[in-house]
Structure 1
């Protein structure tokens, strides 16, 4: 499988990610536990988006975008467009992650000042997981071309399933993953600061914060299974696949705090995401019959997401219908329920 990633490019990219995470951790530790304001979330969102476009600009220049060689310039243009398309698709699919994170935080009544650390750890787990799955996916595509049809069919199926599930309220009380964790982990009824473990009557037990971290890890696995085939429908270049994924994930925490208070305004967005998955899956299924240009995929994705966001603002949600992901309990009632429960 051909990749634009030379050893030097891979090394520079890895160094950038490590430095970015260290800066983020340093800033988080210096600020301490606090509620992230809309202004802070907006500033960090702009920083991450700007950084992503600076990266693709440097990559375009590195590949010969400003040179005299028309072949190198064409390659630079194609790779830059693939990165931007993949980045937009992954960023859009990350919106669904955000709705589910908000549902978990509400269900477990996670205090606002602790959510930042939980998301940061979740992002670290997602980065490692995505890197592993992307390398596995790239190897499978290189060895078995027919796996592209499996990915395409899976994306179409997932998109149809997402369309029918949009607006339905999930039942966390009967969630298999949550019930499996509850049977195996003793949980305290209350939080103990940002600690993952505490002691009750001399026994070491997990806090609800650890449960949230574990569930976010499970969510990362589920969403990676959807999003990674989607990016392989845009490009099979491992370097572009990984970098666009990583840049989309790095800005996930800031995007969460930016969109958390706006989820009800974009109640039709899950339908748009479902259409995007069907579109990308169809593109993958037609790969040997007709190659849909990347720019058309980018344009279609932008139009679908833009249209669903505009329609969400114009069409109010139906009474009793969940907006985006569901929030079965308010923070207040969820906290009260946990206090009434004995430690497990």
Structure 2
């Protein structure tokens, strides 16, 4: 064995991992800082978030997401510390990036890599952001069913998002490790997404209901916690006569977390259809989740107007699942991430425009 060559390989692997952790750590630091500012600005008092505040915060999060696209477009190679063509080829192969490298031109190949990486990120972001809208339908139903006062929505959503970030982190990197070890899992994800999309289309007009008393999460929590019968301001916990209780608001938070867990089962495989790089999956996922809270307050009163959105999302899931199943053939035909983004945006745009052009007829009592 050539021990000197082995040492160089191990050293390069260690340096690459250190660079990835540094890049990733910087991203997490930014997210923690933004959440701290968000909590500091909007959680000092329990007041309902206005449409103007929601619009401003939505614009801020979308702007940050777009700026991160620019960061990846210019410095994307820094994520994996790519220094030469051999490293670039290795990373491209490892994460199944759909690009053609030019062996004699490292600079041009690196440019293609950065462009594709940024495009994968923004495509994943659009997919996750779109699927998050479906989450809003359920959130509105949860808050309404549990009778949560509007001034407490923000607190529940912020803490729900913090929990979602932790859960997504675990889901994404465990999923990436499984994909790296068992490539056939991608086909399993593909079949699952196609099935989910079909079921969403079949049940797109079903009236969803939530029974607070019989919800699985409420029943489970009631077994292990003492539940206070009424809301106590914006508190999650309440102490009375020396006994500690969880409040109904805490139960709502648990239901929100459980709901996000269910949605993650759809959304994370969907982004893995766009990119196999777990860092890009995480970046796109987290930016979409961070924008979900402000988008909720922006759309809460008009979400019902987009009645064709579920239809659009069902087609979106079927397309992404089919893309995952037919990846090798599509790659051979020259199907790129740009084509995926165009189709995804078109599906969403058509569903939104159709909803506005053909408004849902209100039911009238005979």
TM-score category, normalised to shorter length: 0.7 to 0.9
Matched with 1:293 is: 336
Q: Is the 8 A contact 1:4 1:237 kept in 2?
A: no
Matched with 1:215 is: 255
Deviation (angstroms), 1:171: 2.9
Task: Give aligned pairs, total.
Answer: 318
Matched with 2:345 is: 302
Matched with 1:193 is: 233
Q: Is the 8 A contact 1:188 1:200 kept in 2?
A: no
Structure 1 runs not aligned, ≥5 long:
322-344
* In 2: Cα distance, 1:14 partner to 1:251 partner: 16
Matched with 1:16 is: 30
Aligned partner of 1:25 among 39, 58, 66 = 39
* In 2: Cα distance, 1:8 partner to 1:181 partner: 39
Return 175-184 or 291-300, whichever deviates more: 175-184
Matched with 2:354 is: 311
* In 1: Cα distance, 2:142 partner to 2:336 partner: 38
Deviation (angstroms), 1:185: 4.4
* In 1: Cα distance, 2:69 partner to 2:221 partner: 41
Deviation (angstroms), 1:38: 0.5
Matched with 1:54 is: 67
Q: How does 1:160-179 map to 2 (within 5 A)?
A: 160-173=198-211, 175-179=215-219
Superposition CA RMSD, Å? 2.4
Deviation (angstroms), 1:28: 2.6
Matched with 1:259 is: 299
Q: Is the 8 A contact 2:136 2:300 kept in 1?
A: yes
- 2:116 pairs with 1:116: no
- 2:101 pairs with 1:93: no
Matched with 1:38 is: 51
* In 1: Cα distance, 2:34 partner to 2:265 partner: 26
Matched with 2:309 is: 269
Secondary structure (helix, strand or coil) at the match of 2:238 reads: strand
Matched with 1:279 is: 319
* In 2: Cα distance, 1:200 partner to 1:280 partner: 51
The change in CA–CA distance for 1:201 and 1:168 in structure 2 (over 3 A counts) is farther
* In 2: Cα distance, 1:277 partner to 1:85 partner: 14
Q: Structure 1 length as normaliser, TM-score?
A: 0.86
Q: Is the 8 A contact 2:141 2:209 kept in 1?
A: no
Aligned partner of 2:180 among 119, 142, 162 = 142
* In 1: Cα distance, 2:229 partner to 2:239 partner: 11
* In 2: Cα distance, 1:169 partner to 1:107 partner: 13
* In 2: Cα distance, 1:137 partner to 1:225 partner: 11
Structure 2 runs not aligned, ≥5 long:
1-15, 79-105
The change in CA–CA distance for 1:283 and 1:72 in structure 2 (over 3 A counts) is same
